[in-house]
Amino acid sequence: MTTLKSKLKEDLHTAMKARDELTSSTLRLTLTAITKEEVSGTSARELSDDEVQKVIAREAKKRREAAEAFAQGGRTEQAERERAEGALLDGYLPQQLSDDELNAIVASAVEEAKAAGAEGPRAMGAVMKIVNPKVAGLAEGGRVATAVKKLLAG
């Protein structure tokens, strides 16, 4: 069993003993998503820590999107719960890049793409190919795309 998955299980047991309903339900859903990912496909397999991190990131993103939807629908109590679940899951993910750090990485990638002959808005794909491996797991795709578009536009 991977170390991240075993940590999730240990934290689930601790939360259950402490009768922490929010933490235990969030971790149960996350572990279920991990198990579902492990058994999908042609044969069951054990996920690596990186793959487990991707599942956790996907679950955290779902919580943020649900919180936005609930807030827009006027269901503030449910939105707060979704935000709390998302924050709990963020604790299992690596620290996200700050805007300044992300912009620095994107700026160097834009320069690299220009050196290769790609310029203007059409260079988006080339720049994203350079940036994505560098920021994998450290910044959400939407944030990265926005930063790239902003630097390519002006």
Q: What is the mean pLDDT of residues 115-134?
A: 75
44 HSE (CA, 13 A, CB side): 4
CA-to-CA distance for 61 and 58, rounded, in angstroms? 5
Phi-psi region of 19 (alpha: psi -120 to 50; beta: other; left: phi over 0): left
Kindly report, residue by residue over 18-27, the tens digit of the pLDDT.
999 999 999 9
Chain mean position to CA 104 = 20
Residues 6+ apart with CB under 8 A from 143: 102
Kindly report, residue by residue over 103-122, the tens digit of the pLDDT.
888 888 878 777 776 676 67
CA-to-CA distance for 62 and 82, rounded, in angstroms? 9
